[in-house]
Structure formats: structure tokens, C-alpha cells
Structure 1
Amino acid sequence: MTAYSKYFDKIKVRPDKKAEAQSRAPVCQWDGCHEPGTHRAPVGRMREGEYFRFCFDHVREYNKGFNYFSGVPDTDVARFQKEAMTGHRPTWKMGTGAQATSNPDFAQKRSGNAGYYNRMRDPHSVFGGATRDPNRPRERKLKSLEAKAMETLGLDAKATGADIKARYKELVKRHHPDANGGDRGSEDRFRDVLQAYRVLKQAGLC
């Protein structure tokens, strides 16, 4: 068989599945990164089933600070853990089953309106909930990375997107290498501000 034999055309090479997956993957969602986003990372609580796409290095960085229960009171976390033991189903003492089913609250409990996991949001009061005051600002619950980023910028959870952008521009102007006179501490602060703004922008807060 020669080097240019027709049999070479029939040889099948096993495809490189890793390279093929990388070529089909979207770009990493970490700000400034252009590597393939081959790894999924959960967006967070109340947004189950939604994921960010990161490269290997950035998914590790994201997972270090991820906390599903960020912003949830300890009492709610404890109740969630207790209800998880029964699969978040309503329970009652033995011998009280008939009384429990005749209780008007039983239908509500069974429908899934009771319990941390099965609570559902009803912003328009479709199911008879209390009407929310439209003038009252919505409380924002930050994840640990977002809270740390806000703290770096000197802001709290009530800060708006405009507040974040204005504060970011102010700090960048103050600590930029061209304006800090070679101050090493100011350069470190500049990098922290850039990273904090990247986290908040990625979370859709600005």
C-alpha cells in the first residue's frame, strides 16, 4: 500500500469530542473573557433552571462565592431544611388525618401555598394576595458576591443602576494609574473597583 493509497480515504478518525464541544459553546459570560463557556453555573434562588455559561477558570471563581440561601433569614433556612426531610409535603400527627383533611386550611396546604419551597410569587394578586403598594421600593436580596461588590463601591442594596454607574465612574477617575501618582495602594483599589463593577454588571444590576 502506497502513501497515497485510496484506502487512506476510508480510514475514520475518532472526532475530538472536547474540541468539538468547545467550538459549539457560547462565549464565557465573565466580563472581558473570550474563552468558550463550556461550564454551567446556576443563576440563583427563585431562578431555578437558569444558568450562566463560564469557562473553567471563571466557573470555579463564581462557585467559590455562590450561596443559594444568600439573603434568606436563618429561620427560613432552618424551616426549609426541616421541610426537606418530608419532601416539602404537609404532615400531621397520627390519628388526626380525618380532622386535618376537614380543616379549611388543609386545601391551601395541600395546594403548595404553605412551606418555603412551594411558595409562589403573586405580584399582581391574581390568587387573592394582598395588593402591593406600587410606590413602595422592591427589596433587593443580594448574593454574597454582589453584596461584597456593593461594599467595595461603598453602596448598599438600595442603590440603583444609576447610583452604581456614577459611583464607579467617580472611583475610576480617582484611582486611575494616571491620576494616583504611582500610589500602589490606589492601584490595588482601582483593580478592586473594576472587579466589583464587573460582578454587578454581570448580575444585571447596572
Structure 2
Amino acid sequence: MPGAFQYKPKFVDIRVKPPRPDEPAAEDVHALKPGERACDHAGCRRAATARAPKSRELMHEHYWFCQEHAAEYNRNWNFFAGMSEGEMRAFQKDEMFTGGRPTWEMKAGKFSREAAAFNHRFHRGEGYRDPFNMFGRGGAHAQARPEPEARSLGKLERNALAELDLEDSADGAKIRGRYTELVRRLHPDANGGDRAGEGRLQKVIRAYQTLRKAGMV
């Protein structure tokens, strides 16, 4: 091969000289800035920018990770770890029907307003029949004129009616009319694109859906 085409490597001295005593040290690119917190992953010096729940039982307590370790934590996260098949199904059913929120039995206690109202009507001789005057309320054939029973509403239905600014006695037609009025008033299209009322609009829609599920509309 002609000498002009032979490969002739050029050796360059690439040794790094140690810094001089009077030379400032290089800036640490991983050093935390004021107000930043360190990643909770062992040995990581990056700033934490994402949080992740510590466990299924501690959903409101979090680890703080950098983006890389947050992604790794999420890949290994298993919400149903340690749960049996039956517990998983029960949890999914609870999420479907209640959204994981606590529920209470719809039962009036003896000190509730419903019980007090019944006792008041009972002592006045109202709301029940006493054809043989067993309670001494006005003659052997006296009958108290029955009053229409008040609508029995749960906490969800009362809150939904309050969200629509309606009384507990509002019927289906009144509920529909009020819902239509609020949607037209709060929708961004009716306010020139202003989305200030969007949060209230979502609450109104959820309240109307609650009343529909309860068969009130």
C-alpha cells in the first residue's frame, strides 16, 4: 500500500492537570438550590420534583422523588399488593358505588328531628287513628285527620337540593327547571367564554345526577 494511504494515528496528550490551590472548585451540578428538597431515593442527590404515596394505608403521606426515581417507583407500585381476590373485589365494588367515601345508615335516632316531630304529633293526637279512644283523644269514634307524610330525604339528597337552592319539598318539575336555569347561567358559552363559574357548574351537574338516581326527577 502506498505510504500516502497508510493510517498514521496522532497521539494527543489528554492527561488532566490537577487544579491549582488558588483555582476555585468546579460547581456541583447536582447541588440543591434554595427551597429545593432532596430526592428520597437512597444515594440520589437530585432535586425532588414529584411525590408518590407511601402505601395503600398511607395515601396522604408521600415520598418525594426526582423524575427518574418517581417513574421507577410508579412502575413497581401495586395498589392491591397483599390483598386477597375477595378483598380486591370488595374494594372495587365500594369504589364503584360510593367512590371510596364513608357511608352511614339512613336511620333516624331517638334524638333526631324526625323522632321529635313524631312525638310532637303523637301527643297532639295527630298522624294516627284511635277509633276506640284508647289514648283518650276525643270520643270513641274520633279520628284524627291524617296529614301527608313528609318526604324522607337522606343527607345526599338534602345537600343536592341545597346546591340547587331548592327547598326539601321541591318536586321533579321544579328541580328540572332550576337545573336548566343554572346550567344556562353558568356555562362558559353563556358568559363569553369566562370559565369562572365552571366549578359551580360541575357541582350543579353532580347534584342533579344525585337527585335523578334517587328517583326525584
The bucket for the TM-score relative to the shorter chain is 0.3 to 0.5
**Structure holding more helix per residue:** 1
Question: Structure with the greater relative contact order (CA < 8 A, sep ≥ 6): 1 or 2?
Answer: 1
Which of the pair has more CA radius of gyration? 2
